[in-house]
A and B are shown apart, each in its own frame.
Chain A
Amino acid sequence: MSFLTSLGQGVIFLTTILGYFKRLDFSVNEVFEQIWKVTKESALMTSTAGFFVGAIMTIQFTLQLNEFGALGYLGGLATSGTVREIGPLLIAFMLSGKIGAYTSAELGTMRVTEQIDALKCLGADPIRELVVPRFLAIILSSFFLLGFGLVMSILGGVFMARIFGGISPEEYFRYVPQFVHLGSIVLSFLKCLLFAIILATNCSFFGFYASGGALGVGRAVVKTAVITMVGIVIADWITSQIADVILRTVVQS
């Protein structure tokens, strides 16, 4: 029951936010300020994480492909796996830990210290001024950061292949076009967008409706982290399934 209630409230909350977008009722300056804040704070972390995700994938594939004497396919396989699946997933996890926790703690603190009530009493609309700019900024910058992280993960892969498997970048990229189609890249960016929306909705919703003092803020942050990560994994599975079906029909026809 309470899960369904929250889900219902979440949907109402999301429609409310979309209403502001439709009316273009928000401050563009505030959005840019938030985008800058989020991107600045998370760019280093995302690129580092992305780089090592690519590196890990390469190491794993090197070990296995080596046994079959098929190291030539390393670049293609590792890049495909990173771009289509592991990259978006892991980087989205990192961002939900960082941006998600920060935003829900920030909004939650404003809620439990009655700052959100005070805003209303002084003629401001808290959803318009606090939630909408953060929501939009999180989506845009997560999307951008995820894309950036993916590029870094490919670089990490190339770098590791060179060090670990002695494979030159030309060799590494030789079979990439066979494994990574335009479709995979589009899919990957669609996933990034979807994950970013899940992240932005959860952290603003749980933060904005936090209640019960400092403890309540803690609960809001935990809920944000857990539900965002579970949501991302489920969304990942659904998009992969759908993409699979689409890809197969395309191949058949």
Chain B
Amino acid sequence: MLRVSHLGKSFADQTILKNVSFELDAGEIVFVLGTSGTGKSVLLKLLVGLLKPDAGEVYFKGQELTQKTEAEWNLIRQKIGMVFQQPALFDSLNVFENLAFGLRRLTQLDEYQIQKKVAAFLELVQIRCDLQSFPSQLSYGTQKRLSFARTAILEPEILLFDEPTTGLDPQSTYAINTLIQKMSKELRVSSIVVSHDMECAMAIADRIIFLDKGEVLWQGAKDQIRHSGKDLVNQFLMDLTL
């Protein structure tokens, strides 16, 4: 589905990512773990063309993505959706318009179909709020879930999540994890989830990639992780048993 090969990125003289390679199959959930500042967010932004890599390639269903123009990216971004680390809802638009935003620009749906779809996805993320309210009037957890819905509503084939549960209460965390799993099992959506949360990873990941200082420290199936032999990985595992 998605193949990342020897990806590298630097800003000025600071190398953020080097030689990152991995693959993602249909319906698979891959967690990317690592300490703060190792370039996890940068990695996701490279995959949706918000940043351009200095080295390496990204193949989506056999198409090479890194050389695409902005117009071509608009088509690809319907297939690869990103849920940002911050809710990133548009301040000046109400809840309904935020959710309808992508549908209005990227699909041919009419107003009635848009309304139905918005209602369906609000149901999916279990949010009942006034559609006319503005993001600033909503709690952080609600905003995060709306942000999830705004991306998922375009029904992409790959979803990229940048710390979807950081800063959320256990209940919302559970709800989001369940959603990611549901999209993967029922709709065969592949997900890459950037996270600090080992517990979530152990709960829903198929595979785990560990990044350290911009490089892949370890990657493999979830059940292999106890045999990684890497100190940093073991530290993350230790948090889990505490």
Contact = CB atoms under 8 A, between A and B. Distances in A.
Interface of A: 109-110, 113-115, 117-125
A115 B88 contact: yes
Interface string B137-152: 0000000000100110
B84 A123 contact: no
Nearest to B85: A114
22 contacts: A110-B91, A113-B87, A113-B88, A114-B84, A114-B88, A117-B45, A117-B50, A117-B82, A117-B84, A117-B88, A118-B88, A119-B90, A120-B77, A121-B48, A121-B77, A121-B82, A122-B77, A122-B102, A122-B154, A123-B105, A124-B105, A125-B70
A122 B105 contact: yes
- Bin chain B's interface residue count: 20 to 34
B64 to A, nearest CB: 20
Contacts, number: 50
A121 B161 CA distance: 13
Contacts of B85: 114
B74 interface: yes
A113 B50 contact: no
B218 interface: no
A121 B86 contact: no
- Please indicate which of the listed interface residues A118, A120, A124 has the most CB atoms of chain B within 10 Å of its own CB: A118
B81 interface: yes
A114 B86 contact: yes
Interface of B: 45, 48, 50, 70, 74, 77-78, 81-82, 84-91, 101-102, 105-106, 147, 150-151, 154
Contacts of B82: 117, 121
Given A123-B74, A123-B102, A118 B81 contact: no
Q: Looking at B50, B84, B88, B151, which has the most chain A CB atoms within 10 Å of its CB? A: B88
B50 A121 contact: yes
Contacts of A125: 70
Given A121-B81, A122-B101, A123-B77, A115 B91 contact: yes
- A109, A117, A125: which has the most chain B beta carbons within 10 Å? A117
B45 A122 contact: no
Max count, chain A CB within 10 A of own CB: residue among B82, B147, B154: B82
Contacts of A115: 88-91
Nearest to A113: B86
Nearest to B147: A118
Contacts of B105: 122-124
Contacts of B77: 120-123
A34 to B, nearest CB: 12
Closest 9 CB pairs of A and B: A123-B105, A122-B102, A114-B88, A118-B88, A123-B106, A114-B84, A114-B86, A115-B88, A122-B101
A183 B106 CA distance: 52
Nearest to B50: A117
A3 to B, nearest CB: 15
Nearest to B45: A117
A120 B50 contact: yes
A124 B77 CA distance: 11
Contacts of B70: 125
Contacts of A124: 101, 105
A239 to B, nearest CB: 36
A125 B77 CA distance: 13
Contacts of A120: 50, 77
B240 to A, nearest CB: 29
A125 B74 CA distance: 10
B90 A118 contact: yes
A121 B45 CA distance: 10
Contacts of A121: 48, 50, 77, 81-82, 102, 151
A125 B69 CA distance: 13
> Which of A109, A114, A117, A120 lies at the interface centre, i.e. has the most chain B CB atoms within 10 A of its CB?
A114
A129 to B, nearest CB: 10
Contacts of A110: 91
